[in-house]
Amino acid sequence: MDPAPATPLPRRYTRAELEAARDRTLEDVVAPNLRVLFCGINPGLYSGATGWHFARPGNRFWVALHGAGFTDRVLRPSEQHLLPHFGLGITNLVNRTTASAAELSDDELRAGGERLRALVREWTPDWLGVVGIAAYRVAFDAPTASVGRQPLTIGDTHVWALPNPSGLNAHYQVPELVAAFRELREAAFGQ
């Protein structure tokens, strides 16, 4: 693996800076031959301000990724460019930055599901890990879906629904998040 360039440390953003990030979009982190393409719901304001996925302090995505064995250390959001070295990528159902995913309409989530299907067909990852079970249910018209492997496939890509790693998701603490992510890692990479 190439040595990582120096990565900026997180900084505090003012309310005005965060609000100015509303409706920005983020670049997908994709590459050929991905084992898992992770898909968040949509970028939050911190992600819009930084340009990095899952950037809000308190989001547990990067901790869960490492704890489950996907990465050799906890990556900073600013190191998202390293994900393809681990066979991983990242995107969002809806690319529009909002303060809360609750600001998204069901129509936006369904349209995001269609966009995601096209992205998966283009890049053909082995697995798609949708992070956020409630958004998955709407985007893929699967109202009774639960966390874990889904019956849906997109071409040859298998689909897995994961809990939302937001610090606001009190239903899943770090150990439960790690366990859910680990099940996907074991399916994608073996024991």
161 strand-pairing partners: 130, 148
- Is 7 within a domain? no
Query: Which residue is associated with the tokens 């249910």?
Result: 137
- Is 18 within a domain? no
> CA-to-CA distance for 137 and 141, rounded, in angstroms?
6
Contact 26, 53 (CB under 8 A): yes
Which pLDDT does position 8 carry in this prediction? 55
Which pLDDT does position 168 carry in this prediction? 63
Per-residue confidence band for 121, with pLDDT thresholds at 50, 70 and 90? very high
pLDDT per residue over 145-164, tens digit each?
999 999 999 999 999 999 98
- Is 20 within a domain? no
Which pLDDT does position 178 carry in this prediction? 96
Range of the domain at 185: 25-189
- Is 185 within a domain? yes
- Is 181 within a domain? yes
Per-residue confidence band for 78, with pLDDT thresholds at 50, 70 and 90? very high
- Is 121 within a domain? yes
- Is 61 within a domain? yes
Structure tokens at 100: 């809360």
- Is 6 within a domain? no
**Count of the separate structural domains present in the chain:** 1
CATH code, 128: 3.40.470.10
Alpha carbon 155 to chain centroid, angstroms: 20
pLDDT per residue over 20-45, tens digit each?
888 888 999 999 999 999 999 999 99
